[in-house]
């Protein structure tokens, strides 16, 4: 008979089936679209740094964009790490429960909700001139500027999850440590961090994943040159930004190459997530 429990089960089963359908469907469509590119270039597609869309000389390689993506995301993560870490300790432990902490927490959540195009515009008018003023390069575009805006964008992600994780550490443990004469510093580093570290780590993995896939703000600040960046302040391009830029007028082999890059991006994000999960288990 159809009772409430069975109906719930069926509905849950069907909805989770839909997720599987969507995910595998996406991979399949991307694979199908990417076939011509991989057929033409083979493995060279991943290691070639040539991106030449001119008719008759067409040759596509994803390496500059893979490097650009990883470089900007790592810069973002490095800048984000200390800032997000101290902010989350501030909100979640040191000033926990105070008005100041909840105000800062609110600001962090607000930052997370700002659309990326707004970050891009702000970066264009504020960060870029700043990079020029500092004398890093002539026009202010580049891998570093893009990494900087990404850092600002992912800080809220890393922070708000870390805060939750820090708050979840049981009070009994902390009280026990204090009663044994531990200082606040001892409690933070010997009680809170060991207990919350896998959660805090996950927050950074998520932040990194978001930096990898971010498109609009990066497009506006990285300089969009389709070559391997020669340094931190040189222009480059990322996988997501390249797709956003070139998809509109692409056809044939170029379109297939863009789809192949999308597929690679899909796998890279999957790898990062898998790697993160593995590390969490180890920690």
The DSSP element (H or E) to which 60 belongs, if any, is: strand 59-60
| Residue whose CB is less far from other proteins, 92 or 223 | 223
Tokens, residue 101: 């902490």
257 near other proteins (CB under 8 A) = no
54 near other proteins (CB under 8 A) = yes
Among 5, 55, 133, 172, binds other proteins (CB under 8 A): 55
220 near other proteins (CB under 8 A) = yes
56 near other proteins (CB under 8 A) = yes
62 near other proteins (CB under 8 A) = no
Among 20, 99, 251, 282, binds other proteins (CB under 8 A): 251
Using alpha carbons, select from 73, 110, 91, 98 the residue that is nearest to residue 210.
Answer: 73
Separation between Cα atoms, residue 28 and residue 266, nearest integer Å: 12
Cross-strand partners of 59: 52
Minimum gap (Å) between residue 64 Cβ and other proteins: 11
CA distances in angstroms from 216 to 5, 119, 242, 256, 267, listed in the order given: 45, 9, 10, 22, 21
57 near other proteins (CB under 8 A) = yes
Dihedral angle sign, alpha carbons of residues 151, 152, 154, 158: positive
Tokens, residue 26: 């996406």
147 near other proteins (CB under 8 A) = no
Using alpha carbons, select from 150, 152, 158 the residue that is nearest to residue 85.
Answer: 158
Task: Fill in the per-residue mask, 10 to 49: x = in contact with other proteins (CB under 8 A), - = not in contact.
Answer: x---------------------------------------
223 near other proteins (CB under 8 A) = yes
| Site residues (vs other proteins, CB under 8 A) | 2, 6, 10, 50-57, 124-125, 128-129, 132, 138-141, 219-220, 223-226, 235, 237, 244-246, 248-251, 254
């Amino acid at each position: 008979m159809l009772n409430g429990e069975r109906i719930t089960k069926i509905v849950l089963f069907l909805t989770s089936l839909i997720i599987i359908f969507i995910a595998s469907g996406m991979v399949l469509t991307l694979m199908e679209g990417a076939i011509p590119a991989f057929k033409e270039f083979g493995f060279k597609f991943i290691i070639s740094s040539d991106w030449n869309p001119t008719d008759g000389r067409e040759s596509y390689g994803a390496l500059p964009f893979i490097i650009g993506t990883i470089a900007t995301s790592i810069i973002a993560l490095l800048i984000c790490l200390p800032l997000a870490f101290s902010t989350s300790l501030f909100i979640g432990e040191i000033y926990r429960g105070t008005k100041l902490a909840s105000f800062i927490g609110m600001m962090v959540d607000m930052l997370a909700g700002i659309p990326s195009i707004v970050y891009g515009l702000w970066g264009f008018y504020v960060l870029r001139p700043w990079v020029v003023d500092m004398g890093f390069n002539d026009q202010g575009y580049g891998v570093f500027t893009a990494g900087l805006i990404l850092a600002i964008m992912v800080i809220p992600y890393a922070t708000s999850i870390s805060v939750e994780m820090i708050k979840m550490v049981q009070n009994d443990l902390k009280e026990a440590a204090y009663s044994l004469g531990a200082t606040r510093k001892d409690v933070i580093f010997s009680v809170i961090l060991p207990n919350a570290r896998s959660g805090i780590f996950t927050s950074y993995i998520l932040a990194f994943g978001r930096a990898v896939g971010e498109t609009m703000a990066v497009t506006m600040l990285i300089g969009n040159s389709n070559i391997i960046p020669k340094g931190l302040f040189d222009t480059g391009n990322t996988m997501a930004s390249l797709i956003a830029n070139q998809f509109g007028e692409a056809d044939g082999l170029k379109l297939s190459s863009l789809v192949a890059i999308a597929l690679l991006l899909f796998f890279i994000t999957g790898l990062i997530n898998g790697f993160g999960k593995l590390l969490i288990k180890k920690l």
